[in-house]
Amino acid sequence: MISLEEARSRLELAGQSQLLRFWPELSADERDSFLGELSLLEPEELREHCRAAAEAGSRDSVAVGQLDQRMEPVPAEFIGSVSRSDREALKQWEYEGFLQISQNKVAVLLLAGGQGTRLGVPYPKGMYNVGLPSGKTLYQIQAERIRRAEQLAAERCGFSKCTIPWYIMTSEFTLEPTEKFFKANQYFNLDQSNVVMFEQRMIPAVSFDGKAILENKGKVAMAPDGNGGLYRALVDGKILEDMDRRGVQYIHVYCVDNILVKMADPLFIGFCVSKGADCGAKVVEKAYPTEPVGVVCRVDGTYQVVEYSEVSLETVEKRNADGSLVFNAGNICNHFFTLSFLKSVAEKFEPKLKQHVAFKKVPYVDEEGNLVKPDKPNGIKMEKFVFDVFQFSNLAENEDPPAVCEISPLVSYFGEDLEVLMRDREIRSPLILDEKKAEEIRKGQKPL
């Protein structure tokens, strides 16, 4: 813990000396707690955060229609559809997903830093009883889906057992009650060692003039740094190292309040693996043009999510020749990542993620020390979004992985005869073209 003198010096460097104005009124325990909190705030980061928040808050949000002419839908060839892809392709993708799960290469990662405020409950969303006859909570439903996915993968691929690790990103608000809830429920019959909880960062709420807000006389008003805080939390919590140790290669990321989520969805996992993607987004078709949901699309050639509030009604209602909506890929915060991609984001790109501005009603203490609950937004909370990493993915080029074909020297010395053997044939990678297979092809007995 830092001393009062060090705290004062650090806050002066950050331009936030006002945070200590009620120090004389704090008890000994309150002072210790406050110094512990202030010790976690790096002066330079705090100064830059408050400056950026005030600057962002003074700018208007993206004007409606500003992105319209720069938007284009995701090309059809980069999309797999449960409703429109042929059955054989769906079966192949699903089997591929189960195969990866059976080999312990797949993990699920839950974004659970938010409180249940909008649900009207004073506890984490995952503990919410959704009203089923069984009385099951979101956490129990998701735990049971993990168990069943493990069973199915083992059965389909001939293994006796496999494991899907469950990583749960919490926040200062949700970590302790979530841990207690899982312990009280014996981790819903999952192995406790395979349920890994970690905490995302908390950052100060900032007033419109760039000052960190006091929630009470001895506590800064803090908020989670958005679900895009995942990438820094993966490093801080040594989660990437844990995944590496377990042999995890693919991660399915989702939000806690999705009651229909398919844990480690084998079809989604298999599709992404088959396409050689390092990043993928599972979407749903919009129910109607003005449904308030962001859409996955390309802006200036870069994949991203455009929020419904940023697009004009004309663009929202634009349709293709067959009557379908042009911008129809509704974002549901359901993503696929390779471990190598997450490592590259965490190590190289996280500082480049865009900071999004949210204007909030932040309770605070006024100059006289009175608690005020504002009736209109008085503060700025900055957050990053998990999907803002699309721009760093190879998905921007997202071509099918190259076919691998090994040709025996006994079949062709320097390419002779290959035109006859290979013309108009679909190659199933990897292909070993040896003498036996070449002879079968010549006789029309065996396809590639």
pLDDT in tens, 33-62: 999 999 999 999 999 999 989 888 776 555
Residues 368, 323: Cα–Cα separation, whole Å: 61
Q: What is the pLDDT of residue 438?
A: 84
Residues 57, 356: Cα–Cα separation, whole Å: 10
Q: What is the pLDDT of residue 402?
A: 56
> Is the pLDDT score of 11 beyond 90?
yes
Query: pLDDT-derived band of residue 243, with 50, 70 and 90 as boundaries?
Result: very high
pLDDT in tens, 362-398: 999 999 999 999 999 999 988 888 988 988 887 444 4
Q: What is the pLDDT of residue 123?
A: 87
State the average pLDDT over residues 120-125. Answer: 84
Q: What is the pLDDT of residue 448?
A: 55
Of 172 and 363, the structure prediction assigns the larger pLDDT to 363
Residues 369, 374: Cα–Cα separation, whole Å: 15
State the average pLDDT over residues 308-315. Answer: 88
State the average pLDDT over residues 321-326. Answer: 93
Q: What is the pLDDT of residue 396?
A: 44
- Residue boundaries of the structural domains of the chain: 56-61+80-288+332-396, 405-442
Query: pLDDT-derived band of residue 220, with 50, 70 and 90 as boundaries?
Result: very high
Residues 273, 121: Cα–Cα separation, whole Å: 39
State the average pLDDT over residues 286-296. Answer: 93
Q: What is the pLDDT of residue 83?
A: 85
Q: What is the pLDDT of residue 443?
A: 78
- Which pTM was predicted? 0.80
Q: What is the pLDDT of residue 399?
A: 44
Q: Which residue type, as a one-letter code, is found at position 24?
A: P
Of 86 and 395, the structure prediction assigns the larger pLDDT to 86
Q: Is 223 helix (H, G, I), strand (E, B) or coil?
A: strand
Query: pLDDT-derived band of residue 64, with 50, 70 and 90 as boundaries?
Result: low
Q: Which residue type, as a one-letter code, is found at position 422?
A: M
CATH 3.40.190.80 fits 405-442, yes or no: no
State the average pLDDT over residues 286-315. Answer: 90
Average pLDDT in the chain: 89
Q: Is 303 helix (H, G, I), strand (E, B) or coil?
A: strand
Paired sense of beta strands 431-433 and 405-407, if any: parallel
Q: 56-61+80-288+332-396 maps to which CATH number?
A: 3.90.550.10
Task: Out of 238-247, 333-342, 355-364, pick the least confident.
Answer: 355-364
Token pair of 33 as six digits: 């707690």
Q: Which residue type, as a one-letter code, is found at position 241?
A: E
Torsion of CA 215, 120, 262, 246, to 10 degrees: 30
Residues 295, 201: Cα–Cα separation, whole Å: 27
Q: What is the pLDDT of residue 403?
A: 62
pLDDT above 90 as % of the chain: 64
State the average pLDDT over residues 309-322. Answer: 91
Task: Out of 287-296, 329-338, 352-361, 398-407, pick the least confident.
Answer: 398-407
Residues 280, 123: Cα–Cα separation, whole Å: 31
Q: What is the pLDDT of residue 409?
A: 82
Q: What is the pLDDT of residue 363?
A: 93
* Angle ∠(95,260,388) on CA atoms, nearest 5: 85
Query: pLDDT-derived band of residue 446, with 50, 70 and 90 as boundaries?
Result: low
State the average pLDDT over residues 429-434. Answer: 79
pLDDT above 70 as % of the chain: 94
> Is the pLDDT score of 98 beyond 50?
yes
Location of structure tokens 């769906």: 90
Task: Out of 56-65, 157-166, 171-180, 221-230, pick the least confident.
Answer: 56-65
Question: E-assigned strands of 150-294?
Answer: 166-170, 195-199, 202-204, 206-207, 214-216, 219-220, 222-224, 250-255, 279-285
